[in-house]
Each structure stands twice: as structure tokens, then as C-alpha cells.
A and B are shown apart, each in its own frame.
Chain A
């Protein structure tokens, strides 16, 4: 078109970003992406191609890492780790240097990212790369402060990290920055579709003075990733699909490897009738058409209040018609290419099978590339597969609601829990709804806001662990306190001729605030060393666990009580325990065959512990994070929900009560399997619980053999976490079973802590999950 014609049509025209520099960079390095191990490149092989999804053309060859190559990288990381962990200020300097260098090479990083991934250059340039840089700046600061601010913690060692293809550089930054800041060394595997920006990053690290072995990159596919999971690493951090996350959980079960997972989502995007509708629609552009919808936290499930739904959908369709789809390297493009034909086919298939009404933005798609039009599907019910399944493409599904309560109910009707967005001009409504949403991140009147200072991560099957902030750093630290191998307590055996005082003392189960007979109808006897019968406890089975979890699930109110109230109840427990200290001391002595002074010390320690967690109930606060917007990002500490606890044998009273108190103080409900060897120490607590006003269902106690109880707890779909310090439970089996609903686990790999000196913040961190609520403001 000549100028005159353009003057009349007022079209945008092409605004291409040059790919020459990025292509030349690749060519200069032989056009192959490969390993960066111990500060050096190689080996590199052209095992499979990395294509430009916008054109289908090959950009580079990629080396598929073998288990031997992974092992080599892990060995290099292992060797480099002790020295790297020594000087946190030196780490801060190097992370700062990385940030500065990334800034200097920002255009190369951005173009490489868009070529490789297909995302619009605007997004790489204005979002991905700046956020990645910010991550290194922020974590340079954390490295500087970690020693003084996190005493009692040590790095984990070598971290294996596996990242997805949707934000190759940004996810790399989210993984590497905290790991290195905390003093770990890293072996990172980029996604097979998108290895190229990691190559640029590795060079930046060389330039920044990262010592050899501290950062290693292994390219490859899923098999390479599996080899990394199996390798001699101390931690696996994974971002990707829920299916693969679950496999990794199963694969690492029993290994003692720490694990954080950032997985899929079907995040609700709730629009109340008093919202600024135009802004909410513009928000949707950033929610579901950002990065072609290939975003784990994409607002993919639109919930509109019924009264405005028709108008909203009409306006939304008009907005969709203005989205520009095409060459990602064009600066005037909103929606680029889907990363790979495999993904494109998956999206196409899912949409083709829907019973909903499909609207696709008008216009023709560019030829030759992997393009999919922005899509809106209306008229779906909650039961429709597309309301439940993650599509991971530019496809929005929509439904309506009538009341705020119903909005929450629909929003939470999902296996996932990554993010949620809500739009309302009513602050009361916003701050009422945000805490009720099952999500790790909530955006109020905004969407897809990210920052290094704000924790990000999910609940439910969206995974566990946080990235960003001190919370994210904690995922790369472990308590440095010594652990002791968890051993079964040796208790007096049944005598040939038991002595009894003729009074029956059978402790039943404690479920829903009532004592309940064991479902199976079996009990076992407990004796002291003189052969005197101390009492019987029930042998719990899967149905007892089922009943206990049901009771706990029903006691939802506890999670909404104030910290003050929970503190009062825990103090009350301490008070009542104190009143019966002698009796509990005698019981411990009889059960464990220990000295009177040791037994009484355990009771005293238990009372002290109850005081500690009572004190923390209203003091383990959240934080307002220093994010670079006009607004607040509130990191709220929320209870996990219902926690199953397999108590230790060592310190049968103190161990159980410590775990119980930590869980209760933060508002969790508990199903406790007390010390297998000495359960009477816990069953004696029934009266304490009852007299201390602990509401029914908040604490449920099921006695029995842990080998019987653990599998049911571990696989229970309505249990949110499982803590095991039992010497009788099969750690591998329970971690494997926990993969079913991806419940959080806290398991005694490496042994049990000293219960009397356990840092309460360790337990409290396991008893809570951080929800980050972003509230931009301004009138």
C-alpha cells in the first residue's frame, strides 16, 4: 500500500523486530543447544530440532541429555556446592552481576525467547525479560540478607530444576535465583521445545563470574528430566503439568528429596455486577490471551454475575475482534503462535468436542505457523469437561453465577487452586471473597501480576511450594538442626500372666468430639514393666480414618476462627494438662519405662509447647510485600486444611502434642494417629480436649498400627496434608500415595527433630500456605 492508501485505511502495517542478531548468535555457536556443565559447554549433539513455531522452521538442534551426562552435571554441582554456600555476600554480588548483564543483553534474550517460543515480542520484551531481571536483583538482596534473617537454616545442597516451555527465561529465573541465593548449586533442564534462552543465560553466568559447577544446564526431553529426578540431587523443583508433577512425586517418593511443584490450573475469573466492565474485559485479554493462554495461572474460567452476562459477553466479543494474531516478532501483535503442533492439536481437539457455544475472533490466521484464534465458549455447566480440564490455549470458558456465595462455590469447584481473579468496585466484597477462594494467588481488579517479592504458587492439585519472597527462598533452605533417626519405642511386652486391677480402661477412638468404638472391633493391650495391664486401645482401620477425616472436614469453622480464640483454647489445654501433670507423668513412665524425672520433664515440655503455639496463633503473621505497583500484595498465611498426623514414638506425649498444637494454632483440623507404641499418652488427652473447649471434629484421634492407617491417610482425597514422624510407616509408600491429590507431606526423612527444641517456625511453615492477594488501588 502506498502512503495515500494507508492514509485512507489507517491500517497498522508490519512492525517487525529483527531476528538477525539472535539467529547470528545461534549460528556463531554452531546452531546447537547443549549442556553447560561445570562452567563449560558440551557435549552438544543435534539430537532433535528446536523449531520456530511461527514458521515451522528449524532454529537449532538440541542435545538430548543422557543419564550419564546428567550425573556428570550433578557431580559438578555437588563439588561446587560447599564453597558456594560459604559466602552469602559473594553470592549477592554475583546475582547482582547476573541481573545487570541480563539488562545489557535484554534485547537478545527477548528476541531469542519469541523466536523459540512463539510469544509476541512485546511480551518477551515488556514482561518476561524485565520480570526475570527483577528476580535476580531481588534475590541478590535475599542472598545478602539470608544469613542474618534466616538463622538456623542451611541450603539443601544440589537442586534439580525442570522448567516448562511457556515462560522459558522467566521460569529459569524463578528457579535459579532463589536456589543460588540460598547457597545451593543447580542442575536445570529447560523444556525440550525451548532451550535457547537458557543458552544465552548460561553465557551471561560465565560473564558474571558464576563459579564452575554452581549452575549447570542439561538440555533434553522428558527422559532427560526423569534422569534428573532420579539423580543424586537433594531437591527437585518442577513447573509443568499436573500429570508430570504427580509422576515426579511418585518417582521421588521415599528418596528424601525435597520437592516443590508448580502445576496446572483452571483459574476462575470472577466479574461481579458492580465491576468496571470495560476494565474487566481488558483484564481478560491479559488473563487468557496473554502468551496464547499458555499460562498455568491463566484466568481461563470466566464467572460473570448473571445480570450483566449478556452485555459482558457482547462487549467481550467486540474486544476479541480487535486482537491481532500473527508473527510474534511483530511489535504490533497481541497473540502469537502456539508453541508446538502437538499443543495445537490438543487444543483443537478439546474445543471440537465441546457442547458449548463457540465464538472465535474473526479474521484469517497467518499461514505456515502454529496459530489458534482467541476463543470464547459460553453456555457450559460446571460438569462440562472444558469447565474442569486445563486447555492451555487461548480458549476461555464462561458460566454465570447469582450471588457472591455461589461465585465462591463455582470458583472452588475444581481440583486445581493456582490463581483467581475478581472484579468488583466494592472493597467489602473483594476482601470478603479473596480469602474464600481456593487459590495461592488472588488478583483483585487486575490479573497476572507478578513480582519477585510476592510469593506465587498453588494449593490442591496446582502443587506446593512458593516462588518469590522469603517464602520462595525457604523452599531452598532446610533447618540446620540435627535430626535423630526415628526409632520404634521399646515398650514392655505382654507378660505371661498379666496383672490387672479389675477395672476396664479401654480407650476408644476420638472422632467428631465423641469417643467411638473401633470399626473393626479389635483392640490391643498395653502393659507396664511389671506386667500390669494399663489399658486397651482400638486397632483402627480404613473406616475409622474415613470417619475421622469426615469429621475433620466438617469442622470447617475452626479454620475461620480468630487467632485469639485458638490461642485461648491452646492455653486452656496447657492449663488442663498442667492440672493433671502428675497423672500424665506417671502414664509416660509406665508406658515408656523411663525415669520419673524424664517423664515429668516431657509433660513440662508439652505444656511449654502448648504455650508456644498458643502464643503464635495470633503472631505468625502474613506480610505486605513490597511490590512495584501502587497497591498492596498481601501474603496471608492460611491453614492447609485437614492434616493427617502419624505421630512419633519418641516422646509419645510431646511429639503428638507438638504436631497437634502447631496444626491447631494455624487453624487446621487434625486426624492424629498417636504414637503406635504408646498411644495411651494421647488417648488420655481426650478429657483435656473436651474440657478445653476444642470444638468437635477439630481433633480426631485414631489409634492403631501405622502400617494399617498410613495408606488410607496418604491416599485420602479429602486430606490436604500428611505429616509422618512415625518409625512404623513406610515413607516411600505414603509419599507415593500422596500423589493422588498431591497432598503436602512433611515426612521424617533424615530422622526426627528434638521435640523439645524444634524451631516452632519450622512446624508453622508446614501448617500454613501463603496466599498472595494483590490489591492495586487508586481513585
Chain B
């Protein structure tokens, strides 16, 4: 684990990418027997998820450090129809300096950045430009996000165009119907094609877990996407009615653990949507630490897909420094 500790102080342009430090997941042949044997007991998973926040608690300077860590794991995101270049530049500026410098000084922490900025294809170039000179990668949602129902060729083309536009990371959406109909071969082929289209950019597979119906499906889809070479698996687009939840997260990261045990490849995890409180971020960090270990607390293996989380963390950090509860307007908006 020591090989990654330098993340804390010096982040380089591509630090967040898993392939920099670890052998990239090359995937494997689709193993349908393995997929068929996957079990996920919903009640038990829910119980574990429900008790975890009570089992782990991080206080005082530990909490501040953990929250600072959480900031470095955020894919600061804007995915709205009314995004403009100005809006994206403002977001990028926030990504460069997510926390007021005086607070970081008081905490004894060096400058931080978020893990990435996440935008639609059309905003890649402006984001790349706005982040020039920083270490922050640009992630683009792709493949007909969020529904993933545009023509397949166009979805592949979209990836290629986004990579060409400078995106370091591509967040693809899978075809939910392949999961819902148990067509694992189709899911595998689709994912594999997407991965190939990404080239050197790393690929996050969005499962849209809120639309997969069962945790068993979530577990199987996670596994198939990893078999097809996903670098990250991600819960949601943020547009489904249910997005990241702890039970879904537990199911997916257990799949990550199983995949590593079988293949040796470490695959990253990104919960997205619905994580808006500092307290929630701490629970997610402890979940990763408990189930996968400290290695998954670094931006190359863990990201939060979030937009409003940062604001709450900033307020908590100020509270830690001053002892007084903070207000939103005391921190620069994204």
C-alpha cells in the first residue's frame, strides 16, 4: 500500500487512472458458470448495510482527514441540459480548489483537488482547457447516456469522439435489457466493444442498478462487465429513480473482491447519485475499507459521483476548524 501514499501530497495528471499503478484489468473470457453461481441474499446484504454506519465511526481530526480524502475521490459532476461553457469552467475552477485555502492551512493539509470532473461529451474540450496544468482528469459520460438506447454504432462512435476530445475517463452505460433478459453474452460483447473503443482512456461501466430489479442482477452484471474489461463499475447515471445505495454498493464491491480473488485484477468502484452528505461519504469510505481494504480509498480505485457532496464536506471541515457550524455561502460555489 505504501506505493500509493504519495497521492496524498503530490498528484500527477494521471494519478487517478488505475493503469498507472496497477496492471489494467484485461478482462477474461465470459464465464457463464460463474455468472450463474452468483448469489446475493438481499435481506442479509441490507442488514450488513444497515448496521455498518453504527459499527464504524470516525471522529475529530480523523474525521477531517477522511473528509479531505473524500474530496480527492469526488468526480465533480455536471450533467444537465442547461450546461454551458461558463458553467463547466466554474465547476472546473472548483475542482482545482475545492476547499478554501485557509481551511486547508488550519488542517495542516496541502492543496487538494477533486478526483475528476465529469461532463457530457460536448463539454469535454472546455473542461480539458479549464483544467490545463492540473492533475485532474476529465471524465465524460457516453454511449447515449443516460438511457443507452441510441444506435450501437453511434454509442461506440461517441466514445471514440470523447476520447479524441481529450477525455481521460469514459463513463459508459450498459444496456439494461441485456441484464433483464439474462443475455450475458450480449452484455459482455457490448462492454468489450466499449472498452476497446476507449483505448487508453479508462472505462467506468454504469450499471444503472436502480433499473436492474434485483441485487442478484446487480452482482451478475458487475461480474460480466469486469470480465469484459471494465476498469471501474459504477452504480448509476444519477438519473434513475433510485441511485447509489449501500446494499447495491455492498453487492458490487463484493463482486469486485471476488473478481480480484479470481483474476488478480483490482477494479475500481464509483457510487453515483444520492450521496450528498459528508456523513454518507464517511460511511462509504468505511464500507470500502472494511470490504476491500485501504487500497480502495485512493482515487484510482474509488470515486464518488456527486455534485452537492462537496459543499457539505466544506461546511463540516470549517466546523472542525472553528468549532462553529458553517453556512453554504461561506464557501465558493461550484
Binding site for B on A (CB under 8 A): 1-4, 6-15, 122, 125-126, 274-280, 282-283, 322, 331-332, 334, 423, 425, 445-446, 629-631, 776-779
Q: Provided the pairs A278-B254, A446-B47 are in contact, do residues A7 and B69 lie with their beta carbons within 8 angstroms?
A: yes
B100 interfacial by beta-carbon distance below 8 Å: no
Query: Across the interface, do A13 and B62 meet the contact criterion of CB distance under 8 Å?
Result: yes
Cβ of B40 < 8 Å from any Cβ of A?
yes
Q: Is B108 an interface residue (CB 8 A)?
A: yes
18 pairs, CB–CB < 8 Å, chain A vs chain B: A1-B61, A4-B65, A4-B109, A6-B61, A6-B65, A9-B294, A10-B65, A12-B57, A13-B59, A13-B60, A13-B61, A275-B41, A276-B41, A276-B45, A279-B44, A282-B44, A332-B56, A425-B41
Q: Is B44 within 8 A of A126, CB to CB?
A: no
The count of residues in chain B whose C-beta lies closer than 8 Å to any C-beta of chain A is 42
Contact with A along B60-90 (1 / 0, CB 8 A): 1110111011000000000000000000000
Shortest distance between the CB of A119 and any CB in chain B (Å)? 14
Complex Cα gap A445–B43 (Å): 8
Distance in angstroms from A634 CB to nearest chain B CB is 16
Minimum CB–CB distance for B85 against chain A, Å = 34
In the complex, the chain B residue whose C-beta lies closest to that of A274 is: B39
Given A13-B58, A122-B55: A425 in contact with B39 (beta carbons within 8 A): yes
Whether B196 is near chain A, meaning CB under 8 Å from some CB there, is: no
Interface string of B19-53 (1 = CB under 8 A from A): 00000000000000000000111111111100100
Q: Which listed residue (A10, A630, A776) contacts B69, Cβ 8 A?
A: A10
Q: Does B107 contact A (CB under 8 A)?
A: yes
**Chain A residues whose C-beta falls within 8 Å of the C-beta of B47 in the assembled complex:** 446, 776
> Which one of B58, B254, B290 has the greatest number of beta carbons of chain A within 10 Å?
B58
Query: With a CB–CB cut-off of 8 A, which chain B residues contact A630?
Result: 43
A278 CA to B61 CA in the complex, in Å? 33
**Provided the pairs A10-B297, A279-B41, A332-B58 are in contact, do residues A126 and B51 lie with their beta carbons within 8 angstroms?**
yes
Q: Dominant SS at the A interface?
A: loop
Q: Are A3 and B43 in contact (CB under 8 A)?
A: no
Residue of A nearest to B293 (CB): A322
Cβ of B214 < 8 Å from any Cβ of A? yes
In chain A, what residue has the closest Cβ to B320? A3
- Across the interface, A4 reaches (CB within 8 A) one of B8, B59, B257, namely B8
Whether A3 lies near B297 (C-beta < 8 A) is no
- Quick one: which of B44, B69, B297 contacts A276, CB cutoff 8 A? B44
Q: Can you name 6 extra interface pairs (CB under 8 A) apart from A334-B55, A425-B41, A776-B47?
A: A3-B107, A3-B108, A12-B56, A122-B55, A278-B257, A279-B40
**Distance in Å: Cβ of A6 to nearest Cβ of chain B:** 4
Contact A122 B107, beta carbon cutoff 8 Å: no
- A332-B289 CB under 8 A given contacts A276-B40, A282-B44, A630-B43: no
Report if B216 contacts A (CB, 8 A): yes
Closest 8 CB pairs of A and B: A13-B62, A279-B44, A6-B65, A776-B43, A276-B41, A15-B57, A276-B39, A331-B57
- Closest-by-CB residue of B relative to A278 is B254
B110: which A residues are within 8 A, CB to CB? 4
Q: Does B324 contact A (CB under 8 A)?
A: no
Alpha-carbon distance A8/B55, docked complex (angstroms)? 22
**Pick the contact of A7 from B8, B41, B60 — CB < 8 Å?**
B8
Known: A6-B62, A322-B290. A446 touches B43 (CB 8 A): yes
Q: DSSP majority for the B interface?
A: helix
Q: Are A332 and B57 interface neighbours, CB within 8 A? A: yes
Taking the nearest CB of chain A, how far is it from the CB of B13, in angstroms?
Answer: 21
Distance to closest chain B CB from A13 (angstroms): 3
Q: Given A4-B8, A7-B68, A274-B39, do A126 and B54 touch, yes or no (CB 8 Å)?
A: yes
Give the residues in chain B near A275, CB-CB below 8 Å: 39, 41
- A778–B46 CB distance below 8 A: yes
A182 CB to closest chain B CB (Å) equals: 33
Verify A445–B108 contact, CB threshold 8 A: no
Chain B residues positioned under 8 Å from A15 (CB to CB): 57-59
| Known A-B contacts A3-B64, A13-B60, A279-B45; A122 and B108 likewise in contact (beta carbons under 8 Å) | no
Least Cβ–Cβ distance between A59 and chain B, in angstroms: 24
- Which residues in chain B, 278-311, are within 8 Å of chain A measured between CB atoms? 285-286, 289-290, 294, 297
Residue of A nearest to B290 (CB): A322
B18: min CB distance to chain A, Å:
18
Give the total number of A-B pairs whose CB atoms are below 8 A apart. 105
B214 CB contact (under 8 Å) in A12, A423, A779: A779
Known: A12-B56, A274-B39. Is A3-B68 also a contact (CB below 8 A)?
yes
Q: Complex Cα distance A332/B69, Å?
A: 19
Residues of chain A within 8 A of B39, CB atoms compared: 274-277, 425
Q: How far is the CA of A274 from the CA of B289 in the complex (A)?
A: 27
Note all chain B residues with C-beta closer than 8 A to A14: 59
Pair A283/B44 contact, Cβ less than 8 Å: yes
Known: A332-B57, A779-B216. A11 touches B62 (CB 8 A): yes
A129 to nearest B CB, angstroms?
Answer: 13
**Bound Cα distance A8, B54 (Å):** 24
Chain A residue at smallest Cβ distance from B106: A3
Assess the A7–B43 pair: CB atoms within 8 A.
no
Tell me the complex Cα distance, A260–B60, Å: 49
Nearest-neighbor residue (CB-CB) of B38 within chain A = A276
Chain A residue numbers with a CB within 8 Å of B215 are: 779
Chain B contacts of A334 at CB under 8 A? Answer: 55
Q: Is the CB of B289 within 8 A of A10?
A: yes
Residues of B within 8 A of A3 (CB): 61, 64-65, 68, 107-109
**Chain B residues whose C-beta falls within 8 Å of the C-beta of A9 in the assembled complex:** 294
Residue of A7, A11, A322, A425 with most chain B CB atoms under a 10 A cut-off? A7
Q: Are A777 and B59 in contact (CB under 8 A)?
A: no
- When distances are taken between beta carbons in the complex, the residues of chain B under 8 Å from A274 are 39
Nearest CB in chain B: distance from A666 CB, A: 32
Q: Is A10 touching B294 in the complex (CB atoms < 8 A)?
A: yes
> Whole-angstrom distance from the CB of A725 to the nearest CB of chain B?
47
In the bound assembly, the distance between CA atoms of A14 and B61 in angstroms comes to 10
User: Which residues on the B side are within 8 Å of A12 (C-beta)?
Assistant: 56-58, 62, 286
Residues A445 and B44 in contact, CB atoms below 8 Å apart = yes
* Cα–Cα, bound, A334→B254 (Å): 20
Q: State the CA gap A630–B56 with chains docked (Å).
A: 25
- Residues of chain B within 8 A of A629, CB atoms compared: 43
**Contacting pair A10 B41 (CB below 8 A):** no
Contacts of A7 in B (CB 8 A): 8, 65, 68-69, 109
Give the shortest distance, in Å, between B42 (CB) and chain A (any CB): 4
**How near does chain A come to B223, taking the closest CB pair, in angstroms?**
13
A445–B216 CA distance with the chains assembled, in angstroms: 15
Q: How far is the CA of A1 from the CA of B39 in the complex (A)?
A: 41
The answer for the CA separation of A276 and B215 in the assembled complex, in Å, is: 12
Q: Which residues of B contact A4 (CB under 8 A)?
A: 8, 65, 108-110
**A1 contacts which chain B residues (CB < 8 A)?**
61
A8 near B5 (CB under 8 angstroms)? yes
Query: In the complex, what residue of chain A is closest to B41 when comparing beta carbons?
Result: A276
On whether the beta carbons of A445 and B58 are closer than 8 Å, the reply is no
Min CB gap B222→A, angstroms? 13
Q: Given the complex of chains A and B, what is the CA–CA distance between A52 and B40 in angstroms?
A: 41
Closest A residue to B4 by beta carbon equals: A8
Of B8, B54, B290, the contact of A122 (CB 8 Å cutoff): B54
Given A10-B294, A15-B58, A332-B55, residue A631 in contact with residue B43 (CB < 8 A): yes
Contacts of B42 in A (CB 8 A): 778-779
User: Which of B41, B107, B294 is most buried by chain A, counting CB atoms within 10 A of its CB?
Assistant: B41
When chains A and B are docked, how far (Å) is the Cα of A446 from the Cα of B285? 25
A331 to B286, CA, bound (A): 13
Taken residue by residue from 254 to 293, chain B's Cβ proximity to chain A (1 for < 8 Å, 0 otherwise) reads as: 1001000000000000000000000000000110011000
Give the nearest-CB partner of B251 in chain A.
Answer: A278
Residue contact B43 to A2, C-beta cutoff 8 Å: no
Q: Shortest Cβ distance from A124 into chain B, in angstroms?
A: 11
- Name which residue of chain A comes closest to B68, CB basis: A7
Instruction: List residues of chain A with CB within 8 A of the CB of B45.
Output: 276, 279
In Å, the complex CA distance between A279 and B46 comes to 10
A586 CA / B213 CA spacing, docked (Å): 73
